[in-house]
Amino acid sequence: SDWQNTINIFANDSALIQKSENSFYYGYNLSPLELSRTVKALNPGEISLVLQKEPSLFTVVQMVKVINKNTYLDYDLVKDQVKEIYYFEKRKELLNKYLHQLYSKYNVELNKVDE
């Protein structure tokens, strides 16, 4: 496709900061507001104009698919987010366990101070 050809042309360009393919984004996570509005106006298959996010930082977006609320997503779209959430929760669990061990070992008691 033309989109894939364009990506291939710019893939090795040193000016390219980030390339994202087959990514899933929530509308509320898109910024600035101009980008969010532009993406919401796209139909599947359409490609945005070049948008300036910051000075010397530009974005081009292709709307691949619109996913409505309360719809199950393909695992491939969310697997990175699932991994991120899993690792975050696992770290939190291990940290809480470690802190509990430290509290027990050193007989630490935390008291809330009323102001």
Task: Note whether residue 115 is domain-resident.
Answer: no
Using CA atoms, how far residue 115 sits from 91, 110, 112, in Å, is 32, 16, 10
Same domain, 55 and 81: no
How confident is the model at residue 85, as a pLDDT? Answer: 94
Q: pTM of the prediction?
A: 0.53
Handedness of CA 90, 96, 98, 100 (dihedral sign): negative
- For the chain, what is the domain count? 2
DSSP calls for 2-38: HHHHHHHHHTT-TT------S----GGG--SHHHHHH
* Percent of the chain as helix, strand, coil, to the nearest 5: 45, 10, 45
Task: Note whether residue 34 is domain-resident.
Answer: yes
Same domain, 49 and 4: yes
Task: Note whether residue 113 is domain-resident.
Answer: no
In the chain, what percentage of residues exceed pLDDT 70?
A: 97
Q: 69 falls in which pLDDT band (50, 70, 90)? A: confident
- 13-40 pLDDT, tens digit each: 777 777 777 677 777 777 777 788 888 8
Same domain, 12 and 56: yes
How confident is the model at residue 35, as a pLDDT? Answer: 80
Give the residue numbers spanning the domain of 97: 72-108
Judge whether residue 97 has pLDDT over 90. Answer: yes
